[in-house]
Amino acid sequence: MNDIMVEIRNVSKSFGKTSVVNDLNLSVHSGEFLTLLGPSGCGKTTLLRMIAGFEYPDKGDILIQGKSILSIPPNRREVNTVFQSYALFPHLTVRENIAFGLKMKKVPREAMDRRVDAAIELTQLESLALRKPAKLSGGQQQRVAIARSLVNEPKVLLLDEPLGALDLQLRRQMQISLRRLQRRLGMTCVYVTHDQEEAMTLSDRIAIMNAGRIEQLGTPAEIYGTPATPFAARFLGDTNFLSGTLQRAADGTMNRFITATSEIPLPTNVELLKEKYQSLSIRPEYISLHHEKPTDFALQGKIIEENFLGLFSRITVSLASGEHLFVLIPSSAKSPYTVGDNIFATWDPAQAHLIGMDNI
Amino acid sequence: MRQGNRQGRSRFVLLGILAPAVIWLVLFLILPYFNLFSFSFWQNDVFTVRHEFNLLNYAKFFTESQTGAAPYLVLLDTLKLACWVTVCTLLLSFPLAYFIRFKVTRYKQALYMLVIIPLWVSYIMRAYSWKIILGTNGILNSFLLWLGIVDTPVSFFLYSDVSVIIGMTHIYTPFVLMPVYTALEQIPQNLIEASNDLGGNRLRTFLHVVFPLALPGIITGGTYAFVLSMGDFLAPSLLGGPTSSTKIANIVQQQFGTSNNWPYGAAIGIVILVLVLGLLEVTGRLERHFSKLESTSPRTLR
Amino acid sequence: MTKKIWSVIAVAMITSISLLAGCSGKEEKKDAAHEFQGSTLSMLIWEGYADPSFTALFEKQYGVKIKASYVTSDDDLLAKIKAGGGDAYDIVTPNGTMAGFLMESGITEPIDTSLIPNFKDISPRLILPDMKKDGKIYGVPYMWGPNYLIYDGDVFAEAPKSWSVLWDSTYKGKVGMWDDISNIYIVGEMMGLDKKDPGALYNMTEEQLATARKKLMELNSSVRKYWVSAGEVNDLFANKEIVISMGWPLTIRAVNEKGRHLKWTIPEEGTTGWVDRFMIVKGSKNQKLASLYINFIIGAEGQALTAKVTNYSVVNPKAAEFMSPELQKMTYVHEMDSLFVKLNFWQYVANRARYNEIWTEVKTGK
């Protein structure tokens, strides 16, 4: 599990004057589902295309199982790509599309038929095998694209926003079956998306990318729980930022966070940070609201908005400092809060995280 | 009642919109064809045309004259020439279109225009330029003599079937290039990447992806070249030699000119028309059979 | 400096034009001028036959306008007369190819030669049978010319004696011929068909035609190009694509201006020739004015002016006095009679369709 399948070493790539990937390092473990998550233009697709061989890095090296693949042209790399718009061959049937890679590699007829049949079965395309892509729905085309790549048994499967064109319901369905398939085959996948929910559902690890760099690499829970940068915090889930300064306690630890209007206790394990100015991130669902001042610390404010979101309600609190605080509470038939209420907000100090301001 | 009324009115509006197009079609397409068709069954008199139905014009075209030559043989000759021109234009324009589409990154549009520009140069001028190049003392012969490849000028370059084919190939290549280029241009880049990704090298990608997808454009272009060169009477008469300057279109032109035999000319015209319509039907079917690119957009969700 | 020269030339031109206008005896033409004032004379003619250098004189003299329409071939001429008739054209200038037919089919009117005093000056040998019917004149000769055998003086040491030189393998691939049924006439002359009756060339039997066809098919392998226009044959000679061809004086002049040495000859078998003649279209409303124009242009001065533009030969020998010595030589104005002996003037071919068919068969090699 822990041997490294793909290694990206100090890779940089620019198009003209625009730097797209910037001195990037990344290792993908064998059998791992790793997602490159980030906004459009962050370099995630370019990175994927460099692994596939469609782009050549300006600097750095890309290795598969410890061997550099830079000198290998895309048609001889043991990776396969599922393209954003599927890129199915319109003049070939579903079966011919799936068999394409094996035909190119001159796999003997019998072995080819067996493997194609298996891929068709795996993706449940039996009844559609003789149709042309134009006669298929988006989800069916998607399955053909995946089968066409899988049949080649690549060392790494690269997926470039493969579900982006599907509607929400179908996308959720496909996510689950894709993940199931990947686990069953134990395949190494590098997946590109800008959809945070998709990234969390699918991935073993997520690499949050921004401006050609990886901002944070970790399991979905790690990134969600302890975002390393404001960008990571914002990109994976919603969060509140409070600005203030750190204060050294009598015992020498920095354990208090001083905002304009209040003092907030910090988790005891917080590292010593050099930066004077910090941001404190607290996820909306970790905040609790009280009408009476709790014994612990609390920020005082006024409810200015309440939005019903289904399972949760989102309450906007305007703090005395002028900052807004978003709070998620489970919805109930009768909300205990009304707009205009004076309120106290508090949370378990262990749930809040300090983030260096220089990363914003 | 009311609905019927409304329907009637919208039909009236529709008629109003379509009327100019219909009138144009009738006046400039249907009537002339009808005219040609009826003429082909009449007989020529010195100053007039005798309006009595007969098939003599067609018979004349398909049977031998007193001196033993059948006029339809010229049509076969012309078809052979058209085949040559079709093959040559395709051999020239496909690599050119492929080059512009896949190998040129900058000035793509400019290069495309450069190939198309000859369309704006007068036909006669282009034919004359070939006389200068291919003549006995022309550029090509001077060059070959200078290189020492030949020691006397080659005469068959000009005033022969060769020069007619060269001239027509030059003239009709833009017509072929345009649909071929369009077909290549419409092949999404990611299909080529997909083929690469799946292990296809350049040649196999070309054979299994690019060529099949360009086929509709190739068929369209080939049809253009074939039909246009079949109907061309200028290139043969300007560039053709003693026995290669009279093709079927020249014969038709002669009937409406020097020979002044409109009914016979009309009959040959109808024969050509039927031939071309048949050809268009066949190529149209082939084209539809091979054109698969439409409606494969990933967004065709139900 | 150049500006100065141009203004001098301009002044000189203006003075000479006004002098010319002043010379053309105003007094005696006053009645006629009054009679036709404002009329328009419509002519359907060959290129060169309505040059302002002479039409302007006539227009000024009579206060009329000349409207010229041009034809490019005999068939074009026929088609245009058919379409327009006497309403569209007053005068046409066909050659023998169509003239006889136009006369026989009643498309043109007899011409009153009493209105054309200059008619008596025309060389009598040019009043051909196809210009007369029932003792009436239907065509008045205007210009004429032989169809020469033109050859490159740099290639031929002496003039070829016979049309058979075209078949000589020495000149294989260097022969040019007109793309026209007239090639059949040439073979006819070689066969000696017109020894007794000049008309025999234009009424060949099926057997004779088959022989001519065979002979012409043999010529195909020697021919570089069957040319369709004077411009084309000029280029062929100029580019040394051909060294010999049937042709007209215009070609010799045009090509020799580029420093070449084209020469012409009339082979022993003789050659064909053409006579363009004026005919008046039936239904013309300007018959009297048309006669006046014909009289003007077949007069010595009109003839000389036309010859100057076209280089064709004149029908009125008196024109010589208005021609430069050079032009006199070029148009053989003093040798007309000796030339006529060798000439067979084109006539209407009744079975033109068959001649055309034969020619097409030759050209398609079928």
Within this chain, do residues B47 and B28 fall inside the same structural domain, yes or no? no
How far apart are the two ends of chain C, measured CA to CA in Å?
65
Residue C75 has pLDDT above 80, yes or no: no
C2-145+273-343: CATH homologous superfamily?
Answer: Periplasmic binding protein-like II (3.40.190.10)
Q: Measured between CB atoms, which of C356, C365, C366 is closest to B259? A: C356
Residue C17 has pLDDT above 60, yes or no: no
Within this chain, do residues B139 and B274 fall inside the same structural domain, yes or no? yes
Within this chain, do residues B160 and B27 fall inside the same structural domain, yes or no? no
State yes or no: chains C and A have 3 or more CB pairs below 8 A.
Answer: no
Within this chain, do residues B141 and B205 fall inside the same structural domain, yes or no? yes
Within this chain, do residues B172 and B223 fall inside the same structural domain, yes or no? yes
| Whole-number pLDDT of residue C26 | 42
Nearest CA-CA distance, residue B223 and chain A, Å: 22
Three-class SS of B209-276: HHHHHHHHHHHHHHHHHHHHHHCCCHHHHHHCCCCCCCCHHHHHHHHHCCCCCHHHHHHHHHHHHHHH
H or E element: which one contains C325?
helix C325-330
Instruction: Give the dihedral sign, CA C127/C130/C134/C138.
Output: negative
3-class SS of residue C91: strand
| Whole-number pLDDT of residue A251 | 62
Domain positions in chain C: 2-145+273-343, 146-272+345-364
Amino acid (1-letter code) at residue A158: L
| Whole-number pLDDT of residue A97 | 95
Q: What class is the A1-78+154-223 domain? A: alpha beta
Query: B288 touching A, CB under 8 A?
Result: no
Q: What is the pLDDT of residues B68-78, one digit of tens each?
A: 788 999 999 99
Stretches where chain B sits below pLDDT 50 are 1, 293-302
Percent of chain C residues topping a pLDDT of 90? 60
Decide: A345 and A287 in contact? Cβ < 8 Å.
yes
Residue A257 has pLDDT above 90, yes or no: no
Q: What is the token pair recorded at B260?
A: 């002044």
Most C-contacting residue of B164, B243, B252 (CB-CB within 10 A), to test interface: B243
Most A-contacting residue of B106, B189, B196, B197 (CB-CB within 10 A), to test interface: B197
* CATH code, domain carrying B285: 1.10.3720.10
Domain count, chain B: 2
Residue C324 has pLDDT above 60, yes or no: yes
Assign A71 a pLDDT band (cuts: 50, 70, 90): very high
Within this chain, do residues B164 and B227 fall inside the same structural domain, yes or no? yes
Amino acid (1-letter code) at residue A184: R
The DSSP 8-state label assigned to residue B155 in this structure reads: S
Beta bridge partners of C176: C225, C245
Are the beta carbons of B292 and A132 separated by less than 8 Å? yes
| Whole-number pLDDT of residue A267 | 67
Residue C8 has pLDDT above 70, yes or no: no
Residue A15 has pLDDT above 80, yes or no: yes
Are the beta carbons of B298 and A141 separated by less than 8 Å? yes
Assign C25 a pLDDT band (cuts: 50, 70, 90): very low
Nearest CA-CA distance, residue B266 and chain A, Å: 43
| Whole-number pLDDT of residue B116 | 81
Within this chain, do residues B102 and B232 fall inside the same structural domain, yes or no? yes
State yes or no: chains A and B have 3 or more CB pairs below 8 A.
Answer: yes
Domain that holds residue B96: 40-290
- Could you please report the per-residue DSSP string of C246-310? EE-HHHHHHHHTTT--EEEE--TT-EEEEEEEEEEETT-S-HHHHHHHHHHHHSHHHHHHHHHHH
List the one residue out of A243, A237, A344, A334 whose CA is nearest residue A288: A344
Q: What is the pLDDT of residues C98-146, one digit of tens each?
A: 898 889 888 899 999 999 999 999 999 899 988 999 999 999 999 999 9
Task: Please give the CATH architecture assigned to the domain spanning A238-359.
Answer: Beta Barrel (2.40)
Question: ipTM of the assembly?
Answer: 0.84
The upper half-sphere exposure of residue B65, i.e. CA atoms within 13 Å in the direction of its Cβ, equals 23
Decide: A268 and A253 in contact? Cβ < 8 Å.
yes
Q: What is the token pair recorded at A312?
A: 């949760």
Whole-number average pLDDT of chain C = 87
Percent of chain B residues topping a pLDDT of 90? 54
Nearest CA-CA distance, residue B189 and chain C, Å: 50
Residue A309 has pLDDT above 70, yes or no: yes
Angle CA(B100)–CA(B103)–CA(B104) in degrees, nearest 5? 60
Chain B, 120 to 139: residues with Cβ < 8 Å from chain A are: none
Nearest CA-CA distance, residue C127 and chain B, Å: 26
Decide: A246 and A297 in contact? Cβ < 8 Å.
no
C-alpha distances (whole Å) from A259 to each of A165, A298, A322 are: 45, 12, 11
Q: What is the token pair recorded at A34?
A: 């790793």
Assign C20 a pLDDT band (cuts: 50, 70, 90): very low
Q: What is the pLDDT of residues C201-239, one digit of tens each?
A: 999 999 999 999 999 999 999 999 999 888 899 999 999
Name the least confident of A63-72, A199-208, B127-136: B127-136
Residue indicated by tokens 């782009």: A55
Within this chain, do residues B151 and B8 fall inside the same structural domain, yes or no? no
Chain C neighbours, 3+ Cβ pairs < 8 A: B
- Could you please report the per-residue DSSP string of C114-156? GG-GGGGGS-GGGS-GGGEETTEE--EEEEEEE-EEEEETTT-
Task: For domain C146-272+345-364, give the fold.
Answer: D-Maltodextrin-Binding Protein; domain 2 (3.40.190)
Q: What is the token pair recorded at A52?
A: 């596939």
| Whole-number pLDDT of residue B5 | 62
Within this chain, do residues B94 and B69 fall inside the same structural domain, yes or no? yes
Name the least confident of A299-303, C233-237, C303-307: A299-303
Mean pLDDT over A217-246 rounds to 84
Beta bridge partners of C149: C246, C265
Beta strands in chain B (DSSP E): 43-44, 49-50
Nearest-by-CA chain B residue for C75: B258
Name the least confident of A65-74, A319-328, B139-148, C312-321: A319-328
Q: What is the token pair recorded at B188?
A: 């999404």
Within this chain, do residues B250 and B282 fall inside the same structural domain, yes or no? yes
Q: What is the token pair recorded at C282?
A: 């039936």
CB contacts < 8 A, A to B, total 96
The phi, psi pair for A300, rounded to 5°, reads -95, 145
Within this chain, do residues B17 and B100 fall inside the same structural domain, yes or no? no
Chain B, 211 to 240: residues with Cβ < 8 Å from chain A are: 212-213
H or E element: which one contains A11?
strand A4-15
Chain A neighbours, 3+ Cβ pairs < 8 A: B
Nearest-by-CA chain B residue for A134: B296
Query: C240 touching B, CB under 8 A?
Result: yes
Q: What is the pLDDT of residues C246-286, one digit of tens each?
A: 998 888 888 999 999 999 899 999 999 999 999 999 989 99
C-alpha distances (whole Å) from B288 to each of A4, A38, B83, B293 are: 50, 43, 22, 11
3-class SS of residue A58: coil
